[in-house]
């Protein structure tokens, strides 16, 4: 009886050896790949958490410097967060915040530099659009109308489209193009929410130019 069991065990062992000889290398490499992927994922998770924590701490420093108008600290902390964590939203928020402070402190060149960086480097399209709007406003103040029009004509998320159109209308008026301004104001008016205060402001601009957005909307609806 024992001999019979030993024979079965030997056969099973031989089958296992045969199986491992045939498939062992493949199984080993699959396990290595799986474990490697898991280790990489865990490493990335740890790296992401570390990045977020450190960038948040630096953003707090930028915010504190902005609130206290500590310009040397603002310059240093902003440079640090952009250098080390440029891809994070904290860096993009820091640049937008610093641009506002620079503008208040009559450092228009530095403000434009930060807004340009966000408009070109931000991963979030909303931040890009906001930076373009603010950059265009600075360029309009400097009468750099061509540069401002480029910013306002860029593709942006739908939520920002009426704001861009309204600012384009303002730019048209400054350049003595009232007919173009009417078109852009109408584009903005049509997209804004019916009860939005901003929409009423655009309607006032249209009325000042002798255009009635309600009448135009009614005409278009009958076509």
120, exposed or middle or buried, with CB in 10 Å at 0-12, 13-18, 19+?
exposed
Is there a domain that residue 113 lies in? yes
Domain presence at residue 136: yes
C-beta separation of 63 from 90 below 8 A: no
Give the Å distances, CA to CA, from 72 to 68, 95, 137. Answer: 11, 15, 26
**Residue 30 lies inside a defined structural domain of this protein:** no
Together in a domain, 116 and 162: no
Same domain, 123 and 161: no
129 and 64 part of one domain: yes
Cα–Cα distance for residue pair 26/99, rounded to 1 Å = 57
What is the pTM assigned to this prediction?
0.73
User: Using one digit for the tens of pLDDT, what is the confidence trace for 175-184?
Assistant: 999 999 999 9
Residues 140 and 162 in one domain: no
Residue 46 lies in a domain: no
3-state helix, strand, coil in the chain (%, to 5): 85, 0, 15
Sign, CA torsion 120/121/125/129? negative
Domain that holds residue 204: 157-223
Domain count, the chain: 2
CA distances from 181 to 155, 200, 219 (A): 19, 16, 20
Write the pLDDT tens digit of every residue in 30-50.
Answer: 555 555 554 444 544 555 556
Domain boundary among 126, 148, 170: 148
Q: Is residue 29 included in any domain, yes or no?
A: no
Q: Are residue 79 and residue 138 in the same domain, yes or no?
A: yes
Nearest-angstrom CA–CA distance, 24 and 71: 64
Last residue of one domain, picked from the residues 148, 175, 206? 148
What confidence tens digit (pLDDT) does each residue in 55-99 have?
A: 788 899 999 999 999 999 999 999 999 999 888 888 999 999 999
pLDDT higher than 80, residue 203: yes
Mean residue pLDDT of the chain comes to 82
Per DSSP (E only), the strands in the chain are none
Euclidean distance between CA atoms 122 and 94, whole angstroms: 11
């Amino acid at each position: 009886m024992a001999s019979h069991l030993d024979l079965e065990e030997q056969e099973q062992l031989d089958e296992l050896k045969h199986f491992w000889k045939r498939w062992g290398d493949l199984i080993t490499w699959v396990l290595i790949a799986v474990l490697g992927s898991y280790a990489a994922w865990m490493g990335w998770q740890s790296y992401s958490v570390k990045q977020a924590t450190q960038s948040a701490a630096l953003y707090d420093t930028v915010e504190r410097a902005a609130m206290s108008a500590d310009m040397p600290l603002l310059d240093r902390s902003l440079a640090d967060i952009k250098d080390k964590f440029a891809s994070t939203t904290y860096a993009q928020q820091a640049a937008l915040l610093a641009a506002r402070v620079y503008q208040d402190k009559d450092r228009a060149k530095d403000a434009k530099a930060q807004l340009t960086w966000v408009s070109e480097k931000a991963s979030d399209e909303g931040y890009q659009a906001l930076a373009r709007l603010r950059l265009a406003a600075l360029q309009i103040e400097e009468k750099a109308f061509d540069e401002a029009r480029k910013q306002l004509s860029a593709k942006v998320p739908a939520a920002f489209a009426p704001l861009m159109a309204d600012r384009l209308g303002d730019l048209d008026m400054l350049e003595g193009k009232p007919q173009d301004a009417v078109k852009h104001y109408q584009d903005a008016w049509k997209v804004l929410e019916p009860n939005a205060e901003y929409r009423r402001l655009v309607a006032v601009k249209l009325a000042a130019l002798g255009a009635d957005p309600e009448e135009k909307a009614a005409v278009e609806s009958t076509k």
